[in-house]
Structure 1
């Protein structure tokens, strides 16, 4: 059982998946920081100095100075500003993944469009098209064995 597990873990796909998960987790942190620390403050400023992370709805009648104070007091709140930040982070991550997949597809299409290796060549004596592996021309019966594959 341990031998089978070792063989499974050492397969290339599992290693690639593990690397992808680790890179994805690190990328998620970068995107979250980008949204929370770089993107949302200017948007909040343009919208009149709104701090999106502080936007919340009080479900109780109590008033609190900040969202953190409401959470610390244990008051029921809906933190829709944090949710907006999370949605924006998701959209940025999804767009980055879209660009990555689109680039990968473009690369695969370019590889698929590569022409196949030649299967024919011209006879150097009569200029007829013959199979690339031919050692004698079927049209003029010239010997092509010493001329190489692309004579």
Structure 2
């Protein structure tokens, strides 16, 4: 069982996935900081110092912080859009790399053209027999 687990855990795909999760978590922290520390304060200034996160509703002495939930939803959409842009950028670069360069037409001199014609004529004679 241990050998099977080692084979599974050391496969390239599993290691790639582990690296992707770690990088994704770090990227998520960067984007979260961007949203919380830069974008939302600027949005707050634009809308007159209003903070969505501070919105509450008092129900029988219990404060329901629906503003914090709304802020989380806004953060999610900003983070999802940022990840979309990064993936789109990587995909664009990959497409450029995968597209083969157009092959230049092969330039033949007269001797090569004559040899190709002779070859074609000989192959026709062989198949005609």
**TM-score scaled by structure 1?**
0.63
Which residue of 2 is the match for residue 45 of structure 1? 45
Show structure 1 runs of 5+ residues with no match: 63-74, 130-136, 142-151
CA contact (8 A) 2:56 2:67 kept: yes
Alignment pair present for 1:126 and 2:104: no
Once superposed, what is the RMSD of the aligned Cα atoms?
2.7
Q: Which has the higher helix share?
A: 2
Alignment pair present for 1:78 and 2:56: no
CA contact (8 A) 1:35 1:85 kept: no
Moved over 3 A (4+): 115-118, 120-125
- Quote the Cα distance in structure 1 between the aligned partners of 2:23 and 2:51: 30
Partner SS state of residue 126, structure 1: helix
Give CA-to-partner distance per residue, 1:3-31, whole Å, 9 cap, x none.
Answer: 12111111111111111111111222222
CA contact (8 A) 1:40 1:85 kept: no
- Deviation of 1:127 after TM superposition, in Å, equals 4.7
- Quote the Cα distance in structure 2 between the aligned partners of 1:41 and 1:101: 27
Which residue of 1 is the match for residue 36 of structure 2? 36
Alignment pair present for 1:139 and 2:113: no
Which residue of 2 is the match for residue 8 of structure 1? 8
Q: 1:9 to 1:139 in 2, by over 3 A?
A: same
**TM-score scaled by structure 2?**
0.72
- Deviation of 1:33 after TM superposition, in Å, equals 2.2
Give CA-to-partner distance per residue, 1:44-95, whole Å, 9 cap, x none.
Answer: 23323223322111122x4xxxxxxxxxxxx3x3322212221222112211
- Deviation of 1:100 after TM superposition, in Å, equals 2.3
Aligned residues: 119
CA contact (8 A) 2:32 2:79 kept: no
Which residue of 1 is the match for residue 123 of structure 2? none
